[in-house]
Structure 1
Amino acid sequence: MTPPVVLSSARSEIHREPPRPPHLRDAAYADQFDRDTLFYDVFRADRHVVFQGPPFLNLLAELRRSAPLRGRFGFPRFAARHYGQKKRGEIWLRSEADSFAFDGPLGAFEIDVQPDMAHLFAGRRVVTTLSKDNDLRWIADWMRFYREIHGADGVLVYDNGSSAYSLGELQAAMAAEAGADMIALAVPWPFPYGPQGGMAGAVDGVETDWDSDFCQTGSLQHARFRFLREARSVLNVDVDELVLGESGRSIFAATEYSPAGFVKFPGLWIGTHAPQGVSRATCRHADFVYRDTPVALACPPKWCVVPNRGDRRGDSWSVHNLFGAKANATLDSRFAYRHMRAISNSWKEDRWARADAGGSALPRDDALAEAFAAAGMTRGASADGAPALGGG
């Protein structure tokens, strides 16, 4: 990747202005807001160069006044186009250049264009996520589940500045689990996640818009255009989220055969109760097969998409939605992901605080237990007689 272009007082006194009104910014907002990243990456996508970052907001006018973008927007050249909806920050420029010299209100600097990597995952069924400090055993189990249950043969993980291991260690662990059948890639994504919205970012009890958390949407849009344009289908789920379909159907196959090339599905919680007794330090996905209470507690939806059937101009990949797509309004009840409460380092809340709530009286998720067995993920003998997965 291109080293991120970061604004600084040495380069410019201009920074990204927050979109959230001052009276709705909580005490943590200023420290969490990404005011300085101009571009996450600059890369080729077929005949275009994509300058991608958080939403440019007030910086867009300064970019338009800077070489090499000056005079490229609109009549008479129409060489550059800006996409800024739903937390996107992208400028697409028709150009064959391999590097650019920027000069304007934001400073003077050189940028090398990174190569188009869409060929790497071409024709593959890919699962992608943003991750930070998730245990390597969890990431390996997550990969195994999607390979064995859904037929995934590509994995793309954006590492959001993990401190528990290096990017190289993450890549090695992913490669070991992938073997010869999967393409696995870890991408550095060391950007501020951004301030929370909803009640998590509430001020005096007033919910706030999700208007300032740019990092994860940015990673999805980057994945979409730099790596996954030619993928057969793409599933967006976190490391603690496992999708199951009726009659064991693959989410990738269902998406590929769907009229819209897009399937959006709900989720439900799996609790921390485990009859055999496990700890945070050694737990695995397959230790947990009991629904959480209340059973009706829903999770925000996730989705799977065929990339080349989307509209670059009209839709945007985001965490829980494909904004702009007609099918985004519909949930497919044939699929639901299991949100594993215990598979977390509790960065947002203490997920283990509800440990064993309800105990063995909780409903057992038999479909999930069967999937773990089919994937060889249960402790003890695996489904095919291979050595069992050990505690991490």
Structure 2
Amino acid sequence: MPEYQRFDAVACEFPRPRVPLLPALHWADIGFGGGTVAPALIDGTAVRHFARGRYAMHAACQAGGIGPGTVLLAPSYHCRTMIDPALALGGTVLFYAVDSDLTPRVDSIRALLAPRDHGIKALVLPHYFGFEQPPALLAAVSAVCRHHGIMLIEDCSHAWQVAAKRAQTGQANADHVLMASPYKFFGCEDGGVLWANPALFPITPPAKPGLLREIKAFKSAWSRNRAAHATATAAEPRDPALRGHDILERHDGPSAQYEPAMENKNSLALSRWVMRRTRIAPLVERRRRHYTQWLEAVAGARGGQALMPDLPDDCAPYMFPITIAEPDPVFYQLKHAGMPIFRWDDMAVSSCTVARNYRLHLLHLPCHQGLSAQQMAWMTALVSKALA
């Protein structure tokens, strides 16, 4: 039975983030004469839409043959929703090691595939934080998958632009698919996309949302748009002694974040409209500018450093990943101040030292296109001070 280590933050009484973690709908991003997303990425027989990326991953695992008695290979550094779909299908998950730059250890993958009775049907390869995995390494992993006859699932949940470049690869092959989470890139309310050979799709497409769900989504988008423009201010002082604690758990099924009833639900028409109409170039430029601001803010910091200090010319970053030397007190100081932070601190236990370390030491900080200059200034000053 899988073992998970989960950080329980209930006792911390953290305030709500003062800045949105993900982008909201901004009308300035919409091109009413048409967007700049290639139509083939959104429409066509080789594309399927889902309510969230995790359900696109579920369909990818199904296409790869994951089910009872079978195994999915996943990276040791992962969020729970990356592996939930395989567990929901009755499969199990084995974890390959990653290096400190989050590239997969091919030797670890080969070792897991060595036994004759490994039962492995598919392998997940993420493009973390919007950064494409190195081409040579991607080719090596792909070759290993082909040699062993297993499905390669490229997880582009963080990397819409990588998916845009590589989607055709998934659409043309029966043993290679790609999936993404567009709501992490566009200002839309939901969305998961799977690009695959049409022969791999079930005959019945996901069910379309009803009118009530569309109306609720429009109201949510409107309210998130207003909240996104709020001025970032420090949270009310909290007891600095409040601390969370780790819990060790064992269970076979998916996490509470996974809803089986949503597996065959289509994304909102509103979300797909936003995707079709969004002007990509200014969105990417703002993300890159915010990422550069983060690099400048933490340059020379004693208490932390950027995990990915070089921003490739074609990269549209999802988050700014930073490793911190001391989670206690830095993480608590930032969270109590209202800083928006993702941290994958609910993770399956593995032998990978990098994953074990990054679980609490790697923070994901927002750099999305919806952040105002004031919000960026507040966040960078807060983090710079905490890491000084």
TM-score (ref. length: structure 2)? 0.28
Point out which structure has higher relative CO (alpha carbons under 8 A, 6+ apart): 2
Indicate the structure (1 or 2) with the bigger Cα radius of gyration.
Answer: 1
**Structure with the higher fraction of residues in helix conformation:** 2
**Structure with the higher fraction of residues in strand conformation:** 1
